Amino acid sequence: MIYLLDLFGTAVFAVTGSLAAGRKHMDLFGVVVIGLVTALGGGTLRDLTLGADPVFWISDPTYIFVAATASILTFAIARFREFPSGVLQVADAFGLAIFTIIGAQKALGFGTAPVIAVIMGIMTGVVGGMIRDILSGEIPLILQREIYATASLSGAVMFVALSRLTPNERLNISLAVLVTLGLRLAAIRWKLSLPVFPSMAPKNHDR
Amino acid sequence: MIYLLDLFGTAVFAVTGSLAAGRKHMDLFGVVVIGLVTALGGGTLRDLTLGADPVFWISDPTYIFVAATASILTFAIARFREFPSGVLQVADAFGLAIFTIIGAQKALGFGTAPVIAVIMGIMTGVVGGMIRDILSGEIPLILQREIYATASLSGAVMFVALSRLTPNERLNISLAVLVTLGLRLAAIRWKLSLPVFPSMAPKNHDR
Amino acid sequence: MIYLLDLFGTAVFAVTGSLAAGRKHMDLFGVVVIGLVTALGGGTLRDLTLGADPVFWISDPTYIFVAATASILTFAIARFREFPSGVLQVADAFGLAIFTIIGAQKALGFGTAPVIAVIMGIMTGVVGGMIRDILSGEIPLILQREIYATASLSGAVMFVALSRLTPNERLNISLAVLVTLGLRLAAIRWKLSLPVFPSMAPKNHDR
């Protein structure tokens, strides 16, 4: 069940990555690379830092097939019609929630401290999108605005906290997904955002 | 033999990296860093994801010496004369072909699935150039145009397929190098490129 | 003692990262991420390439707490007053010196060749700042000007050379820190820099 959700999140992230690549007028190969990186980048960095050798998509190439297929389909379909951005945002929020829980869960399985499990959850959820933005020549969006990573953080904290209280994993996962999903959808709906760094340094802007 | 070709590819990639750094007016240190990253970045990511500890240039620092020397020589020589871009493109195509085969071969040695060996081949061939472009403040060229990664993909698929058919490694390597080299040189000669993502989203361009 | 200096360097790098993030008007989350990446990025890449599983901040989450706290405090304090850039530059030079020695020392402990220990020292000292610049949408500063990485290189070479001559680690560390610190402060004071790549390729600038 969680495996199927994971593959669903992989496909969704590959689609959002491919669309971002398309906006930069990349060729087919570029679209597939950005799709793969968006879908697999977070989990890859998580596995590398945790010391999970080899990384998950080498142990199970299904992830590669799902992400590549989603990217190629996006490339093909985008010639004929636009993607509905509302549906995509909700699907992306769902993918974020799933990836966050899976990352935190995997870290706990490695016996890490709770704070590390939270970081691994966020890393799994947001790093793919960050690399996507860097490869597209942009400052990563999640660093600049909107409650995106914060939704991931909240779900990861919830999951790690619940895991210490009860072994009912199915319940813990469901509640943590709801937290991330609810926060993220609320942020989209009401355009919530965190405070921005105060403008502080006219003298420093040329550093 | 393949080791000498590998060092040749390392030197060539260091030269192209150094020249790219030069175009951005980096200092000597920057030129050497970009040269090293271009030459060693792909193999490093391959070894990290495969779980090959430690990475190849730690086991054998010859790669460091070759890449650093090539970068410093490029820096020194570029003061007096221009590099012939035609020769460089051919040498770079040869380096791409070698790196691709070596990456795929190493992955197969780790017992990965064929699709993973293909990905490791491409990764070894193109990731160094991608990091070079990112460090230079540009969107990676290979994501945007020209048959570059596609030549790497073709050579990797050829090598992995041949490896399942016959144990004659020398022949397999030669044929796979020819495929990559031929495709890449043809792409340079006739300016071939993949289809580009259709312009699809005037409403999305401000995402 | 060296552990406390390491945590001091971690805090200083987190502060400089947070200030850079602030200049880009990132939100609180972005500031903390850039702070963490600046403080921990170099050591993370060092541990990944060395094969030190898991990376240091997973083994000891104190680094996470120090870097996150420094980032949040920077975010809070910057609302009320500017940071004294002179003090920051000196603190940053000190952090660079410490990180360099720790990186080289850890590599020697893994039994690497001297040249690799030098590279690991530089990597620990400068990679965090490079990722900070990339995430901020800029070409890494250290590739372009000023004796920064060169100070790190000199300290690393000094430390590795001394380590082969005498087992007096306390003395070796002190001397190597002095070399890096002295060079870096001299570079700030007199605006020293390395030669820049000659402008060589008007024909190539459109590559």
Q: Give the nearest chain A residue to C32 (CA atoms).
A: A143
- The tens place of each residue's pLDDT in chain B, 207 residues long, gives 789 999 999 999 999 999 988 888 888 888 999 999 999 999 999 999 999 988 999 999 999 999 999 999 998 888 777 777 788 888 889 999 999 999 999 999 999 999 999 999 999 999 999 999 998 888 887 777 668 888 999 999 999 999 989 878 889 999 999 999 999 999 888 777 666 666 544 433 333
What CA–CA distance (Å, rounded) separates B72 from C41? Answer: 27
Contact check, Cβ <8 Å, A28/B112: no
pLDDT bracket for residue C145 (50, 70, 90): low
Residues of chain A with pLDDT under 70: 145-146, 193-207
Q: Where are the domains of chain A?
A: 2-190
Contact check, Cβ <8 Å, C28/A197: yes
Q: What is the DSSP letter of C143?
A: G
Q: Is the pLDDT of residue C207 over 60?
A: no
Q: Higher confidence at residue A24 or residue C36?
A: C36
Q: Give the nearest chain B residue to C132 (CA atoms).
A: B135
Buried b (16+ CB within 10 A) or exposed e, A183-202: bbbebbeeeebbebbeebbe
Q: C27: closest CA among C79, C77, C75?
A: C75
What CA–CA distance (Å, rounded) separates C49 from C156? Answer: 18
Q: B190: how many CB neighbours lie within 10 A of its CB?
A: 9
Instruction: Look at the block and give the residue holding tokens 């699907």.
Output: A91
pLDDT of residue B205: 38
- Distance in Å, alpha carbon of C112 to nearest chain B alpha carbon: 7
- Tens of pLDDT, residue by residue over C94-132, are 999 999 999 999 999 999 999 999 999 999 999 999 999
- In this prediction the pTM is 0.89
- Tens of pLDDT, residue by residue over C37-54, are 999 999 999 999 999 988
Contact check, Cβ <8 Å, C110/B54: yes
Residues of C in contact with A116 (CB under 8 A): 57-58, 61, 64
| Nearest-by-Cβ selection for B23 from C144, C153, C204 | C204
What CA–CA distance (Å, rounded) separates A187 from A119? Answer: 21
pLDDT of residue B74: 92
Asked if residues C3 and A122 have their Cβ atoms less than 8 Å apart, the reply is: no
- Tens of pLDDT, residue by residue over C155-197, are 999 999 999 898 888 899 999 999 999 999 998 887 776 666 6
Q: Measured at the alpha carbon of residue A74, what is the angle toward residues B46 and B194, in degrees to the nearest 5?
A: 65
Contact check, Cβ <8 Å, A144/C25: yes
pLDDT of residue B199: 53
Which residues make Cβ contacts (< 8 Å) with residue B154, sequence separation at least 6? B179, B180, B183
Asked if residues C23 and A205 have their Cβ atoms less than 8 Å apart, the reply is: yes
What CA–CA distance (Å, rounded) separates C57 from C41? Answer: 10
Written as six digits, the tokens of B139 are 């969107």
Q: What is the DSSP letter of B166?
A: -
pLDDT bracket for residue C200 (50, 70, 90): very low
Q: Give the nearest chain C residue to A196 (CA atoms).
A: C27
Q: B56: closest CA among B70, B42, B71?
A: B42
Which residues make Cβ contacts (< 8 Å) with residue C76, sequence separation at least 6? none
ipTM, two decimals, is 0.85
Give all chains having 3 or more CB-to-CB distances under 8 Å with chain A: B, C
**How many alpha carbons lie under 13 Å from residue B19 in its C-beta half-sphere?**
23
pLDDT of residue C42: 96
Which residues make Cβ contacts (< 8 Å) with residue C25, sequence separation at least 6? A144, A196, A197, A199
pLDDT of residue B187: 87
| Nearest-by-Cβ selection for C144 from B22, B30, B75 | B30
Written as six digits, the tokens of A182 are 């609810």
Q: Give the nearest chain C residue to A143 (CA atoms).
A: C30
Residues of C in contact with B29 (CB under 8 A): 142-143, 149-150, 153, 194
Helix (H, G, I), strand (E, B) or coil at C136: coil
What CA–CA distance (Å, rounded) separates A157 from A155? Answer: 6
Residues of B in contact with C193 (CB under 8 A): 27
